Amino acid sequence: MLGEIDSHAILAVSDLTRAHQFYVDVLGLELVRGDAHVLTLRTGTSQVVIYVSEFAGTNRANALVWGVGDRIATIVAALEAKGVVFEHYEGMERDGDIHVAGDWRGAWFKDPDGNILHLTNI
């Protein structure tokens, strides 16, 4: 029933102005539409809906993931240059801020509200 219908990620934030600055200016997502309560952003062929909630940042798992292929090191470096700080997790090997397991590469960072965002080479 839903397998042929596009879905969109949705993230809770506490401050829409700060979220707009982070997602549009830092990450480079495109603003599709927005008002005082909700932003809709384009990322590739998908959309991310960002809304204000008192529960912003309470998710302790990945909220968004981008499969960036072999561009992961370049993208991590570009985000670092914009001030993004990457997370480091115990029990995994790292090459700088990129976690490594065989051919797999991954990097995690948080938005201003603590939502966990993930880059992977897959």
**Tokens found for residue 16:** 């829409």
How many domains, in total, are found in the chain? 2
Whether residue 108 contacts residue 86, with contact meaning beta carbons closer than 8 Å, is answered with yes
Structural domain for 50, as ranges: 1-54
Residues 10 and 49 in one domain: yes
Are β-strands 46-52 and 30-34 bridged in parallel, bridged antiparallel, or unpaired? unpaired
Render pLDDT for 28-46 as a digit per residue (tens, 0 to 9): 999 999 998 999 999 999 9
What pLDDT is stored for residue 29 in this prediction? 97
Render pLDDT for 66-109 as a digit per residue (tens, 0 to 9): 999 999 999 999 999 999 999 999 999 999 999 999 999 999 99
What is the CATH classification number for the domain harbouring 94? 3.10.180.10
- For residue 114, is pLDDT > 90? yes
SS3 71: helix
What pLDDT is stored for residue 1 in this prediction? 79
Residues 121 and 67 in one domain: yes
